[in-house]
Structure 1
Amino acid sequence: MKVFQATGTLTLESAAQQLTTLPSLAQGELLQVDLSLISAADSSAVALLLHWMRSARKQGGELQFSGVPEGLAGLIRLYEVDALLPIK
């Protein structure tokens, strides 16, 4: 399993720049995305995580999110996408 450490902010201002930061995955590979160093997040972060999930699946891989800040976890629950985003 590979680990990807996301850092900085996941907000409207930075989301577009973050779209391509996820590393490529091999078929069947699991990537743990550690969000513990995210300093700020808004609803754009939820859209970004969903985009990363779709991208990983298109490559044949899977994502698992860890270290999700409480504010972001609250947005994920608010938008009712917690079943779509595997959070550890």
Structure 2
Amino acid sequence: MYIKIFKGENSIVEFSTRKNESCRRLSRELKYTIKKYKKYVDFYRIYIEDEKGITEKFGIKYLPTLIFFKNRFEVHRLLGYRNKKILSFLVEKKLMKI
């Protein structure tokens, strides 16, 4: 699972849990962003309850967390809920340099 994250040039990994309302709200907003940028960015969702130890590996201290990777390196970390407009802005600024 972890190696797959780094296969593409641009990736966003969502660290989430099914039990948290902020996580569910972010996931709904992220659907729009995924649809809009799926040709340019690989998107992954990791439910921390399914992947033991993942929070330590990536230093996750708050949920939801989005980590933006460009060429296998973390370029941005977003904590908490954001709407689709902010998510689109960050994809373009941090990953696509538009």
Same fold flag (TM > 0.5):
no
Query: Highest Rg: 1 or 2?
Result: 2
* TM-score normalized by the length of structure 1: 0.31
Does 1 or 2 have the higher relative contact order (CA < 8 Å, sep 6+)? 2
* TM-score normalized by the length of structure 2: 0.28
